[in-house]
C-alpha cells in the first residue's frame, strides 16, 4: 500500500494505482475524456490533469502512478483553469450541433462542457468541414466531431484486430481515417460497431432506419412484422431508464404494438430452429467426414471477418443463415401462408443488438423468399429512441402476447445473446439426439463467463467432441490461426464478433465498460432459468414448422430457405 494525500484526505492505496484510481478510492471523481476503463491509458486529452506537490507540470491522473508521500490536489485554480481551457480548445474545434447529434445527452464531451460550465468560448469556432462517411449501411463516420481520443482505434485494432481505423496527418490536421484512406465500405471494416461504444462523442454512429419504419407503419396496405433478437430486451431496459433486464418481454411486445407494429414475433424462434439445423449439420460433418471444426455463423460481424481475413476457411463455416435471416425468409413464406397475408405486403423489421445485421440484411443473397427477406434492421438504441418518443410508461402498460407460429421460444434460444450461448444450446440438443436420453442438468456452465476463449469436451457415446468458444475477434483470431495451421483440436467453434456476444453488440446501449456486458450476461441466464422449456428441440412451434413445412432438418426446403454460402471479400488491409 502507498500513502498519499489527495485534496487533504490521507489515504492508503494499492501499489501501482494511478492518481485517477487513488482519487476514486477516496471518493473524488476526476474528469476524463480519453480514459476508457477497458483500454490502455492514452493520456492524450489532458482533461484529467492534477497538481502534484513539488512538480511544476500538472500530471495526467489517468497515467501518473502514485508514490509514497505524494500530495495531490485535484481542483486548484491552476487545475480548473487548465481543464476548462483544454475543454474550450476541444469544443471550439467541434461542431456545435448537439441538438441534432446522435449522441445528444449521451456524450462525454457534452457532459464535461456542462460540468465545467463552458458558456462563452474565447476561441473562435472552427469546424473542419470534413465529409461524412456514409458508405456503409451499418455505420457512419462524422470526422468533424472526432476528438482524437483514439479509443475507436484501440477497439478496432486491439479488441477486434481488424485494423480498419488509423491516424493520418499531424497537429490540428490529425484525423482518424479508415486504413489506406479508403471509404469505410472499402476498408477491412467488419461493421461490428465496437468503435461506436468506444467513441465518447458522435463521431461514429449507427445508420438510423427509424424513418423507414414510420413510413411503413403509416402505410395502411403494409403489414409491419417484427422479430426481436435475444439480447435486446434486457439491454433495452437501460434505454428506458430501467435496470438491466427489468422490462418484461410481454410489456416490450405491448410497447411495440403501441408504436404500430402489426405483429410481434421472435428471433428466438429461429434461434431454436438454428439449433436443429446447425446441430444436425455438425452431426453430419462428424459422421460423414465433413470440414471440421465447424464454425457458428450467427454473428454477421464474424462472418464479415472470416470473409475478409480467413477466406480460406469459409468451408468451415456452418451453412446455416443467422437466426435473423432464417426468420426473414420464413416470415414471407411459411408465416405469410399460415396467416393468409400476401408476402409483398409484409414489411419485415428486425430488432437487433447489432449494426452488422443492417449489412447482413442488405446482402444480395438474402432474398430466398422472393423478396428482400428482412426489410430493415433497427438497433436496440433505435428502439430506445422510438420508445422515448412514444411517451409510454412501461410500468403501467398491460402486457401483450406474441403473434402465433413464430413467437415461441425456449431458454436455449434466450442464451444465444451471450458468448457461449449458441454452444450451450447446441449441446443441450445434440446430447439428447445422440444419447437418446433426457439431459437432466441443462446447464453447461463451462460455456459461460467473460473469458476470451473457453473450451470444453463432451463425451457423446464414446466420441469426445471438443468445442471452443471465443468472443471479441482478437480471441477468435487465435482459434482461426490454429485452424489455418492445421493444429486445431476442436470439432465445433462458436465465435461472436463482439465482446460478451450479442449483449455487447454494436447496436446495444452505449456500453462504456465490460462490467455492463457482464451484468447483461447475468440477466440472460436468469431469463433462461425462468423458462419452462430450455431445449430447442422441445419448442412446439419449431416441431410444427418441421411437420407442416420444412419436413426435416437439412432437407430440401431448409436448404432453400435456411442455408447460405459465403464469399471471400478481396479487400486490401494492413
Partner 1 sequence: MAEEMRIVLRNYGKIDPLNIDEYIAAGGYGALNKARGMSPMDLIGEVKASNLRGRGGAGFNCGMKWNFACQAPADQKYVICNADEGEPGTYKDRLIMEGDPQSLLEGMAICAYAIGATQGYIYCRGEYPSVVKTLNAAIAQAKEKGVLGDFSIEVRMGAGAYVCGEETALIESIEGKRGEPRIKPPFPPVIGLWYKPTIVNNVETFANIPAIVEKGAAWYAGIGTPTYPGTKIVTLTGDVVNKTFFEVTTDTTIQEVIFGFGGGISGGKAFKAVQIGGTSGAFIPAAHLDTPIGFDAMSSIGASLGSGAVFVLDESRDIVDVTARIARFFAHESCGKCAPCREGTMRMHDLMDKINAGQGQTADIALLNKLGRVMSYSCLCGLGQAAPAPVLTAIEHFSADYDAKLA
Site of interaction with partner 1 (CB under 8 A): 41, 43-47, 49, 56-58, 60, 63-65, 78, 81-82, 85-86, 89-90, 92-93, 122-124, 147-148, 167, 169-174
Is residue 281 annotated as a catalytic residue, yes or no?
A: yes
Element (H, E) at 432: helix 421-435
The question of whether 306 is a catalytic residue gets the answer: no
Q: Which is nearer to partner 1, 54 or 462 (CB)?
A: 54
365 is catalytic: yes
- Exactly one of 81, 365, 552, 560 is catalytic; which is it? 365
Instruction: Tell me whether residue 396 is one of the annotated catalytic residues.
Output: no
**Whether 571 contacts 308, CB under 8 Å:** yes
Q: Which position among 189, 298, 354, 498 bears the catalytic label?
A: 298
Say how many Å lie between the first and final Cα of the chain, rounded: 44
Please state the closest distance from residue 58 (CB atom) to partner 1, in A.
Answer: 5
Tell the smallest beta-carbon distance from residue 123 to partner 1 (Å): 6
Nearer to partner 1, 82 or 185 (CB): 82
Is residue 360 part of the annotated active site? The answer reads yes
Closest CA to 381 of 30, 7, 102: 102
Question: Out of 51, 307, 502, 519, which one is annotated catalytic?
Answer: 502
Marked catalytic residue, from 239, 278, 307, 527: 278
Task: Measure CA 339 to chain center.
Answer: 33
Alpha-carbon distance 292 to 288, whole Å? 11
Contacts of 445 (CB under 8 A, 6+ apart): none
* Catalytic residue from among 42, 321, 332, 357: 357
Residue position matching grid coordinates 444419447: 435
Nearer to partner 1, 43 or 415 (CB): 43
- In sequence order, what are the beta bridge partners of 317? 295
Q: Quick check: is 50 catalytic?
A: no
* CB nearer partner 1, residue 202 or residue 421: 202
Cell numbers for 357, please give them: 445485421
Distance in angstroms (rounded) separating the CA atoms of residues 156 and 173: 22
Comparing CB distances to partner 1, the nearer of 84 and 569 is 84
Task: Name the minimum Å distance from CB 77 to partner 1.
Answer: 12
Handedness of CA 561, 349, 518, 539 (dihedral sign): negative
Q: How far is CA 28 from CA 5, 25, 33, 118, 406, in A?
A: 12, 7, 16, 21, 52
3-state SS record for 278-318: HHHHHHHHHHHCCCCCEECCCCHHHHHHHHHHCHHHHHHEC
CA pair distance 421, 341, nearest whole angstrom: 34
Residue 91 CB, nearest distance to partner 1 (Å)?
10
Residue 86 CB, nearest approach to partner 1 (Å): 5
Q: Which of 154, 206, 360, 519 is catalytic?
A: 360
Is 357 an annotated catalytic residue? yes
Residue nearer to partner 1 on the CB measure, 124 or 487: 124
3-state secondary structure of 518: helix
- Phi, psi (5° rounding) for residue 64? -80, 115
Separation of alpha carbons 205 and 198, rounded Å:
11
Task: Point out the residues that are catalytic.
Answer: 278, 281, 298, 318, 357, 360, 365, 502
Amino acid at each position: 500500500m502507498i500513502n498519499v494525500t489527495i485534496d487533504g484526505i490521507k489515504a492508503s492505496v494499492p501499489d501501482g494505482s494511478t492518481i485517477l484510481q487513488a482519487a476514486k478510492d477516496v471518493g473524488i471523481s476526476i474528469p476524463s475524456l480519453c480514459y476508457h476503463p477497458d483500454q490502455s491509458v492514452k493520456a492524450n486529452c489532458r482533461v484529467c490533469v492534477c497538481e502534484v506537490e513539488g512538480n511544476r507540470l500538472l500530471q495526467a491522473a489517468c497515467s501518473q502512478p502514485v508514490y509514497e508521500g505524494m500530495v495531490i490536489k485535484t481542483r486548484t485554480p491552476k487545475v480548473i483553469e487548465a481543464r476548462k481551457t483544454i475543454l474550450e480548445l476541444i469544443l471550439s474545434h467541434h461542431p456545435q450541433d448537439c441538438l441534432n447529434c446522435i449522441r445528444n445527452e449521451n456524450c462525454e464531451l457534452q457532459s464535461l462542457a456542462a460540468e465545467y460550465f463552458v458558456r462563452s468560448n474565447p476561441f473562435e469556432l472552427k469546424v473542419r468541414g470534413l465529409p461524412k462517411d456514409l458508405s456503409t449501411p451499418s455505420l457512419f463516420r462524422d470526422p468533424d466531431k472526432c476528438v482524437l481520443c483514439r479509443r475507436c482505434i484501440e477497439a478496432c485494432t486491439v479488441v477486434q484486430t481488424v485494423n480498419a481505423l488509423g491516424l493520418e496527418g499531424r497537429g490540428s490536421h490529425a484525423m482518424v481515417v479508415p486504413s489506406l484512406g479508403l471509404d469505410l465500405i472499402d476498408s477491412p471494416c467488419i461493421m461490428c460497431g465496437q468503435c461506436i461504444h468506444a467513441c465518447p462523442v458522435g463521431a461514429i454512429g449507427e445508420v438510423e432506419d427509424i424513418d423507414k419504419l414510420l413510413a411503413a407503419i403509416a402505410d395502411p396496405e403494409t403489414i409491419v412484422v417484427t422479430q426481436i433478437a435475444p439480447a435486446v430486451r434486457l439491454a433495452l431496459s437501460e434505454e428506458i431508464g430501467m435496470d438491466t433486464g427489468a422490462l418484461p418481454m410481454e410489456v416490450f411486445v405491448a410497447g411495440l404494438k403501441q408504436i404500430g407494429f402489426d405483429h410481434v414475433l421472435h428471433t428466438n424462434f429461429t434461434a431454436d430452429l438454428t439449433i436443429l439445423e446447425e446441430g444436425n449439420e455438425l452431426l453430419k460433418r462428424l459422421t460423414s467426414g465433413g470440414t471440421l471444426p465447424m464454425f457458428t455463423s450467427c454473428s454477421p460481424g464474424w462472418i464479415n471477418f472470416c470473409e475478409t481475413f480467413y477466406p480460406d476457411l469459409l468451408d468451415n463455416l456452418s451453412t446455416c443463415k443467422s437466426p435473423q435471416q432464417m426468420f426473414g425468409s420464413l416470415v414471407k413464406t411459411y408465416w405469410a401462408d399460415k396467416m393468409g397475408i400476401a408476402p409483398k405486403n409484409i414489411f419485415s423489421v428486425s430488432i437487433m443488438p447489432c449494426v452488422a445485421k443492417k449489412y447482413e440484411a442488405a446482402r444480395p443473397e438474402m432474398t430466398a423468399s422472393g423478396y428482400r427477406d428482412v426489410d430493415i434492421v433497427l438497433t436496440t438504441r433505435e428502439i430506445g429512441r422510438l420508445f422515448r418518443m412514444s411517451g409510454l410508461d412501461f410500468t403501467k402498460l398491460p402486457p401483450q402476447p406474441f403473434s402465433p407460429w413464430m413467437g415461441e421460444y425456449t431458454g436455449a434460444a434466450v442464451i444465444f445473446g451471450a458468448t457461449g450461448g449458441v454452444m450451450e444450446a447446441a449441446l443441450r440438443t445434440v446430447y439428447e439426439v445422440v444419447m437418446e436420453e433426457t439431459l437432466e442438468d441443462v446447464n453447461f456452465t463451462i460455456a459461460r463467463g467473460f473469458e476470451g476463449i473457453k473450451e470444453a469436451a463432451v463425451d457423446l457415446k464414446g466420441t469426445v467432441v471438443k468445442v471452443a468458444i471465443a468472443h471479441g475477434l482478437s480471441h477468435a483470431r487465435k482459434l482461426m490461426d490454429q485452424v489455418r495451421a492445421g493444429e486445431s483440436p476442436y470439432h465445433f467453434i462458436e465465435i461472436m464478433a463482439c465482446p460478451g456476444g450479442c449483449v455487447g453488440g454494436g447496436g446495444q446501449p452505449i456500453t462504456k465498460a465490460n462490467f455492463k456486458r457482464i451484468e447483461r450476461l447475468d440477466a440472460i441466464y436468469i431469463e433462461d432459468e425462468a423458462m419452462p422449456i430450455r431445449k430447442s428441440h422441445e419448442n412446439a412451434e419449431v416441431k410444427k414448422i418441421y411437420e407442416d413445412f420444412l419436413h426435416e432438418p437439412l432437407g430440401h426446403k431448409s436448404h432453400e430457405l435456411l442455408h447460405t454460402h459465403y464469399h471471400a471479400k478481396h479487400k486490401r488491409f494492413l
